[in-house]
């Protein structure tokens, strides 16, 4: 019997598989399809202080081995999330959930995190300082180590639960941003969010998505994301959550060897609503194939000389 | 609310029925496909996202879809021979509301948007209703299914083409005398056409929207549309919306 359990900031996960924010809603719609309690946890839709409709459509452009999205943090706002979404989530998911938060000012980040920190089912706060689809917010807070540290400190000052800073790959030195988050008190980092990308329609000769550019994700980015997880693992002592193009149990294991203690799965959910369930189910067999008895023991093994 | 199903289907037929327009028959489990106006989402091996396509007809164990070759993905689809196995999500979206049709509804299709009206026509006929069907195309070479609607229960079939090479010259609205003498309308087609219909209509009706989709089942918020009742996902709350709900 292999052991798929991992520990994330003091909370044990049955397995390291976590649907990423923005690809799993607030969970309950997937719960109509299968019992989502098989997941390690999931990160719910990025939540802001106020309701947001998001960007104009088209918001989606297909790419080779991936897609570009420019959804722009559509969400009902923190009050409605607490009043309407979390009760529905609670009815179908019995484990601690990861609350994903975004914002447009330090105050908004702090206040939204404070509100969600008070929700019993929230196990971790994942703070998105890496959304490429909004102006004057999101990614601009993740571009420099100083800005990332400022958000981290603002959130840590008003919360009690583990704070995971979700990092952007669209930076010069992601390891430096991760180190700054750690120094400012972050309990973990998760990476990577999407890469800025673009497609142009040959017929209209204009960008496919209305917002012109968007965030590129999918299996195409896996090698780049893996390299960044590997780099960040060497730069920090806090746990690292790996994500970016993960679509199989093998990818999960590869991310863990690079240094991830848990792994988020994003774009794969949009192609196959059963993707995460299938990864969880296949994980033990793939572990046996590679003679892994205890999954948490392989975290960062690729770094051993 | 529809609950999706993921199954393997087998291509039973894949033939061109008009210029760049193909009809595909898929055999597989059809239990999740419950209402005309719903769509399916087909995975192609060499493409990342699925292809959302509305259901043109449903029989037990058989789905018919109509698609237009517009890009690389649909081009691949058009080359698939009978016997090809496809990973398909079914039961997506909410279909037309048949209970609102009244005694003489009209079905207005534009181009590819005519496809979902075929099963709708059959379903209405099964309730003893013989709808008028008006279908608009750019030119005669693009017309498909005009000859099939009478057998599907249409009381009257009107064709319009923009260049006048088949039927009445102009849009579907030019093909009919007075939209408001019908009891209810159902429409699917290009947005400008549906907007013109919604503006011309004093009667109530429903429109099936199209939007570029990511997942097709409500997860990504890629196809959101702002309605009078707030934000709605075309793939999940739609694709069919009541006339009064939409902002044109």
Terminal C-alpha separation, chain B? 26
What average pLDDT does range A194-218 have in this prediction? 96
**Nearest CA-CA partner of A36 in A92, A74, A79, A83:** A92
B235 in A contact zone (CB under 8 Å): no
Q: Are A224 and A85 in contact (CB under 8 A)?
A: no
Q: What pLDDT, on a 0 to 100 scale, did the predictor assign at position A132?
A: 74
3-state secondary structure of B182: coil
Distances in whole angstroms, Cα of residue A184 to Cα of each of A113, A142, A173, B176, B198: 16, 13, 17, 69, 56
Q: Are B168 and B142 in contact (CB under 8 A)?
A: no
**Nearest CA-CA partner of A32 in B6, B241, B96:** B6
Pick the residue of A27, A29, A102 with the most B CBs within 10 A to test the interface with B by mutation: A29
A208 → chain B, closest CA residue:
B212
What ranges in chain B are assigned the alpha helix state H? 72-79, 115-126, 172-175, 191-200
Q: Are A177 and A171 in contact (CB under 8 A)?
A: yes
- B214-242 pLDDT tens trace: 999 999 999 999 999 999 999 999 999 99
B20 in A contact zone (CB under 8 Å): no
Tokens standing for B170?
């102009």
B14: CB partners within 8 A, 6+ apart: B22, B23, B24, B25, B77, B78, B80, B81, B82
Q: What pLDDT, on a 0 to 100 scale, did the predictor assign at position A130?
A: 86
- Is it the case that residue B35 has pLDDT exceeding 70? yes
Q: What is the biggest distance separating any 2 CA atoms in chain A, rounded to whole angstroms?
A: 56
B73 in A contact zone (CB under 8 Å): yes
B8: CB partners within 8 A, 6+ apart: B28, B85, B86, B87, B88
B225 → chain A, closest CA residue:
A57
Confirm whether pTM is higher than 0.90: yes
Q: What pLDDT, on a 0 to 100 scale, did the predictor assign at position A140?
A: 81
- Is it the case that residue A138 has pLDDT exceeding 80? no
**How many angstroms separate the CA of residue B213 from the nearest CA in chain A?**
6
B215 in A contact zone (CB under 8 Å): yes
Percent pLDDT > 70 in chain B is 99
- A226-250 pLDDT tens trace: 999 999 999 999 999 999 999 999 9
**How many angstroms separate the CA of residue A24 from the nearest CA in chain B?**
5
Interface of B with A in 122-181 (CB under 8 A): none
Q: What pLDDT, on a 0 to 100 scale, did the predictor assign at position B3?
A: 86
Percent pLDDT > 90 in chain A is 95
Percent pLDDT > 70 in chain A is 98
- B75-96 pLDDT tens trace: 999 999 999 999 999 999 999 9
List residues of A with catalytic annotation. 131
Given an 8 Å threshold on Cβ–Cβ distance, is B218 in contact with A29? yes
Chain A hits for B4, Cβ within 8 Å:
33, 273
What ranges in B148-218 are assigned the alpha helix state H? 172-175, 191-200
Q: What is the mean pLDDT of chain B?
A: 96
Collect all residues from A whose CB is shorter than 8 A from any CB in B. 22-25, 29-30, 32-33, 45, 53-54, 57-67, 69, 71, 74, 208, 218-219, 267, 269-274
B43 → chain A, closest CA residue:
A271
Domains of chain A: 6-303 (3.20.20.70)
Interface of B with A in 27-66 (CB under 8 A): 43, 47-50
Pick the residue of A42, A56, A60 with the most B CBs within 10 A to test the interface with B by mutation: A60
Chain B hits for A57, Cβ within 8 Å:
211-212, 222-225
Domains of chain B: 5-92 (2.40.30.10), 98-207 (3.40.50.80)
Q: What pLDDT, on a 0 to 100 scale, did the predictor assign at position A269?
A: 97
What average pLDDT does range A40-69 have in this prediction? 96
Tokens standing for A11?
């909370």
Given an 8 Å threshold on Cβ–Cβ distance, is A60 in contact with B212? yes
Given an 8 Å threshold on Cβ–Cβ distance, is B219 in contact with A24? yes
What DSSP assignment string belongs to B35-100?
STT-EEEEE-TT-SS-EEEEEEEEETTEEEEEEE--SHHHHHHHHPPTT-EEEEEEEESB---GGG
**How many angstroms separate the CA of residue A221 from the nearest CA in chain B?**
13
B164: CB partners within 8 A, 6+ apart: B170
Calpha distance A267→A255 (Å, rounded): 16
Q: What pLDDT, on a 0 to 100 scale, did the predictor assign at position B178?
A: 94
- Its ipTM equals 0.92
- A273-293 pLDDT tens trace: 999 999 999 999 999 999 999
Q: What pLDDT, on a 0 to 100 scale, did the predictor assign at position B130?
A: 97
What DSSP assignment string belongs to A177-221?
HHHHHHHTT-SEEEE--PEEE--EETTTTEESSTTS-EEEESGGG
- Is it the case that residue A136 has pLDDT exceeding 70? no
Given an 8 Å threshold on Cβ–Cβ distance, is B49 in contact with A67? yes
Q: What is the mean pLDDT of chain A?
A: 96
Q: What pLDDT, on a 0 to 100 scale, did the predictor assign at position A135?
A: 65
Q: What pLDDT, on a 0 to 100 scale, did the predictor assign at position B2?
A: 60
- B143-159 pLDDT tens trace: 999 999 999 999 999 99
What average pLDDT does range A98-117 have in this prediction? 96
Q: What pLDDT, on a 0 to 100 scale, did the predictor assign at position B248?
A: 86
């Amino acid at each position: 019997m292999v052991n798929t359990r991992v520990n994330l900031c003091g909370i044990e996960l049955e397995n390291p598989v976590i649907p990423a924010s923005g690809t799993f809603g607030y969970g309950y719609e997937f719960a109509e399809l299968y019992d989502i309690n098989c997941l390690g946890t999931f990160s719910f839709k990025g939540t802001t202080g106020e309701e947001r409709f998001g960007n104009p459509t088209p918001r989606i452009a297909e790419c080779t081995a991936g897609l570009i999205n420019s959804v722009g943090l559509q969400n009902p706002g923190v009050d409605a999330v607490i009043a309407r979404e979390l009760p529905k989530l609670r009815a179908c998911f019995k484990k601690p959930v990861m609350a994903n938060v975004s914002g447009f000012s330090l105050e908004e980040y702090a206040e939204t995190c404070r509100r969600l920190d008070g929700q019993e089912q929230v196990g971790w706060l994942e703070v998105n300082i890496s959304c490429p689809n909004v102006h004057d917010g999101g990614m601009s807070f993740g571009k420099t180590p100083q800005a990332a540290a400022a958000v981290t400190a603002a959130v840590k000052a008003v919360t009690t639960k583990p704070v995971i800073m979700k990092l952007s790959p669209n930076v010069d030195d992601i390891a430096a941003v991760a180190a700054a988050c750690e120094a400012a008190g972050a309990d973990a980092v998760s990476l990577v969010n999407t890469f800025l990308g673009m497609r142009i329609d040959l017929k209209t000769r204009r960008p496919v998505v209305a917002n012109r550019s968007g965030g590129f994700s999918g299996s195409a980015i896996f090698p780049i994301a893996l390299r960044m997880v590997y780099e960040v693992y060497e730069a920090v002592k806090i746990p690292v959550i790996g994500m970016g193009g993960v679509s199989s149990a093998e990818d999960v294991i590869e991310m863990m060897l690079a240094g991830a203690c848990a792994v988020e799965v994003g774009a794969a959910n949009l192609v196959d609503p059963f993707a995460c369930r299938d990864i969880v189910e296949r994980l033990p067999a793939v572990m046996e194939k590679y003679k892994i008895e205890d999954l948490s023991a392989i975290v960062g093994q690729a770094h051993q000389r | 609310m529809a609950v999706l199903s993921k199954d393997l289907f087998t291509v039973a037929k894949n033939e061109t029925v008009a210029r760049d327009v193909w009809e595909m028959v898929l055999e597989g489990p059809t239990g999740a496909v419950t209402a005309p106006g719903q769509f399916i989402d087909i995975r192609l091996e060499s493409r990342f996202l699925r292809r959302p396509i509305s259901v043109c007809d449903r029989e037990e164990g058989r789905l018919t879809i109509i698609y237009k070759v517009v890009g690389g993905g649909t081009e691949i689809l058009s080359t698939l021979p009978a016997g090809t196995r496809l990973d398909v999500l079914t039961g997506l979206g909410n279909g037309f509301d048949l209970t609102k049709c009244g005694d003489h509804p009209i079905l207005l299709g534009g181009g590819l948007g005519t496809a979902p009206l075929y099963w709708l026509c059959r379903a209405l006929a099964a309730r003893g209703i013989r709808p008028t069907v008006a279908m608009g195309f750019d030119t005669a070479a693009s017309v498909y299914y005009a000859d099939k609607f009478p057998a599907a229960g249409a009381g009257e079939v009107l064709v319009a083409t923009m260049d006048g090479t088949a039927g009445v010259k102009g849009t579907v609205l030019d093909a009919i005398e007075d939209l408001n003498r019908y009891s209810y309308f159902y429409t699917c087609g290009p947005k400008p056409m549906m907007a013109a219909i919604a503006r011309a209509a004093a009667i109530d009706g429903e429109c099936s929207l199209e939007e570029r989709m990511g997942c097709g089942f409500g997860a990504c918020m890629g196809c959101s549309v702002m309605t009078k009742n707030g934000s709605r996902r075309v793939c999940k709350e739609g694709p069919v919306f009541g006339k009064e709900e939409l902002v044109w």
